[in-house]
Amino acid sequence: MPELPEVQTTLNGIAPLITGQKITHVRILRRDLRFLIPLDLEDKITHARIVSLSRRGKYLLIHLEKNHNHGALIVHLGMSGSLRILEKDHTLPLQKHDHYTLTIGSQALRLCYHDPRRFGCLLFAANPLAHPLLANLGVEPLDDAFCGAYLVAKSAKRRVAVKSLLMNAQIVVGVGNIYASEALFCAHIHPLTPAGNISLAAYNKLARCVKKILKQAIAQGGTTLKDFVNAEGKAGYFAQELAVYGKAGQACPRCQSEIESLIINQRASYFCPRCQPLTI
């Protein structure tokens, strides 16, 4: 579910409410997420102060300080995860698939992690950017370093489908299955085009399209297809802006041709055969 815009939407929602406050209680109902939640996590973060929040790719980082020691919670939402705020007067019991809660401040609110498939993770690291999960990540798509020249350099002599390249987190982070299809449609590039065959001009356009699509999605609060909810438990609105994702058989919004789908790397891909001709 969550790609970069959904993670950013989550960050934007919770940061103003929890920054500067202390984690007063940690409750873990299930530790067996994608990685086991470390057994010493509660000890490490209880009574820590939340210094700030940041994002690296699809990882949400909650920076903490406790007894002059610094570190960060590394949160990943996997395919089906969400973090939401439970207000003090939220007396409903936790729901199925709520796996942990962090009580913030004087019981005023709790952060609650919900994840049916348990592909997400919760870890703690003194230096999160050096953690093995983060250390080898590629550039941020919204940074200036992500540009046509970068894509040309990274795709040299590579024949993978450009959609696979775009979804390779060692190249560029945050672009998942939805936004990869959308960006390629925006850039008029067929998803199966061998990555090494694409010109600088086309890659410049693709980089601009990735940024544009991601920024639009963030502005709309992310995409809700099934169950993504933001920190307030509300849906995102970018789904209504999607041009091709999930729309096989429907009319292309640009040329009215029928949108097609195919499987690339075991992931559904959507494109307009007329707007995105395959040029090998």
Partner DNA sequence: CGAACGACCTGCAGGC
Partner DNA sequence: TGCCTGCAGGTCGTTC
Q: Which residues are catalytic?
A: 2-3, 58, 267
Structure tokens at 113: 């992690």
Q: How far apart are CA 50 and CA 72, in angstroms?
A: 9
Q: How far is the CB of 24 from DNA (least distance, A)?
A: 29
Q: How far apart are CA 48 and CA 68, in angstroms?
A: 10
Nearest CA to 1 out of 60, 81, 65, 116 is that of: 81
Nearest CA to 11 out of 99, 82, 87 is that of: 82
Of the candidate residues 15, 129, 169, 262, the single one contacting DNA (CB under 7 A) = 169
Please, what sign has the CA dihedral across residues 50, 36, 121, 235?
Answer: negative
Q: How far apart are CA 269 and CA 262, in angstroms?
A: 5
How many chain residues are in contact with DNA, going by CB under 7 A?
Answer: 43
Of the candidate residues 11, 17, 23, 57, the single one contacting DNA (CB under 7 A) = 57
Of the candidate residues 68, 92, 93, 226, the single one contacting DNA (CB under 7 A) = 226
The reply on whether position 3 binds DNA by CB under 7 A is yes
The reply on whether position 177 binds DNA by CB under 7 A is yes
Q: How far is the CB of 98 from DNA (least distance, A)?
A: 12
Of the candidate residues 260, 267, 273, 274, the single one contacting DNA (CB under 7 A) = 267
Interacting span for DNA (CB under 7 A) from 55-63, 67-75, 106-114, 144-152: 55-63
Q: How far is the CB of 68 from DNA (least distance, A)?
A: 31
Contact pattern from residue 138 through residue 157 relative to DNA, giving x for each residue in contact according to CB under 7 A and a dash for the rest: --------------------
Coil, strand or helix at 202: helix
Contact 139, 172 (CB under 8 A): yes
Residues β-bridged to residue 114 = 82, 98
The reply on whether position 190 binds DNA by CB under 7 A is no
Contact 214, 223 (CB under 8 A): no
Residue 17 or 167 with smaller CB distance to DNA: 167
Radius of gyration of the chain (CA): 20
Residue 70 or 117 with smaller CB distance to DNA: 117
Interacting span for DNA (CB under 7 A) from 41-49, 76-84, 99-107, 144-152: 76-84
Q: How far apart are CA 134 and CA 11, in angstroms?
A: 18
The reply on whether position 68 binds DNA by CB under 7 A is no
The reply on whether position 128 binds DNA by CB under 7 A is no
* Element of type H or E holding 218: helix 200-219
Q: How far is the CB of 151 from DNA (least distance, A)?
A: 13
Q: How far apart are CA 124 and CA 38, in angstroms?
A: 8
Site residues (CB under 7 A) for DNA? 1-3, 6, 32, 34, 57-59, 76, 78-80, 96-97, 116-119, 133, 158-161, 164, 167, 169, 176-178, 195, 222-228, 236, 265-268
